[in-house]
Structure 1
Amino acid sequence: MEDKIYTSRLSDFYKDLLTEKQREYFLSYVNDDLSLSEIADISGISRQGVWDTIKKASKMLNDFESKVGYMQYYDKVSSALDAAQAHLTELSEHKDSSVSECAKRAIDALSSIR
């Protein structure tokens, strides 16, 4: 299950780099949970042809992430934003109103980029 989630997330980041057929078959298989036979029937090709296209697309998505690392970078930035927001939330309850107001403005600024 974890592998399917990872693969689905990869497609969220890099699917536009696949060919139209690769994207169509891959998303039907991973996100729509269609079987190879169902995709083959819809597309008018063999199950093996569908499988080969999906495997190639999966390899390409993994290669893109290995080279570019955008998903990993996104996860790191997202974690850092979560941590910053948690610390700012604590500061927003500070006794000194200037500190708490500054923290609230920073929280609003962080929220606007998500």
Structure 2
Amino acid sequence: MDNITKLNLLFDCYGSLLTENQRNVFKMHYFNDLSLGEIAEITGITRQGVYDALRRSQEMLINFEENLGMVKRYLKQEKEIKHILEVLKEIEPGVDSAFKEKYEDICDCVYSLLQEGGE
């Protein structure tokens, strides 16, 4: 996973723990792809101030993940849920018709877990 993707995942998980200024600068840079100079112009702070806010935000997000591990846990669960769905697809042809409805309920529940993780 590239650094920007990782930072975006960390922001999704821990962004609310940053200050409002850090969140705004982070969003402008990583979500809107604005340069440090553009952000400085919009916010009225120096380019160095923007750089420092981004650096502190990144450090804080990484520190939160090192201490809490929520993104690592989420990625592991997502991988395991995808594996479960693959196994369910493999066994579908052998499911007795009497259990077809229950099988479909299980598939729906597992698929729902995968969707909830992305919200």
TM-score (norm 2): 0.87
Identity of aligned residues (%): 35
Q: 1:35 Cα shift?
A: 0.4
User: 1:93 Cα deviation (Å)?
Assistant: 1.4
The CA deviation at 1:100 is: 4.2
Cα distance in structure 2, aligned partners of 1:82 and 1:99: 22
8 Å contact kept, 1:89–1:103: no
Equivalent pairs, count: 114
1:56-80 alpha-carbon deviations (Å, 9 max, x no partner): 0000000000000100100111111
- 62-71 or 91-100: which moved more? 91-100
**Superposition CA RMSD, Å:** 1.6
Report the counterpart of residue 48 of structure 1 in structure 2. Answer: 48
Q: How much has 1:38 moved relative to structure 2?
A: 0.4
Determine which structure has greater relative contact order: mean sequence separation of CA pairs < 8 Å that are 6+ residues apart, divided by chain length. Answer: 2
Using structure 1 for the length normalisation, give the TM-score: 0.91
Q: Which runs of 5+ in 2 are unaligned?
A: none
1:76 maps to: 76
Deviation string for 1:6-57 (max 9, x for gaps)?
1111111111110000000011111111000000000111100111011000
In the alignment, which residue of structure 1 is the partner of 2:111?
A: 111
Is the partner of 1:92 in helix, strand or coil? helix
- Seen in structure 2, the aligned counterparts of structure 1 residues 33 and 95 have a Cα distance that, compared at 3 Å, is closer
Note the alpha carbon deviations across 1:63-105, whole angstroms, 9 max, x for none.
0000001001001111111111111122221153235443322
Shift in alpha-carbon separation, 1:96–1:60, aligned structure 2, 3 A: same
Does the 8 Å CA contact 1:40/1:47 hold for their aligned counterparts? yes
- The runs of at least 4 consecutive aligned structure 1 residues that moved more than 6 Å come to none
Unaligned 5+ segments in structure 1 are none
Secondary structure, in 3 states, of the residue corresponding to 2:40?
A: helix
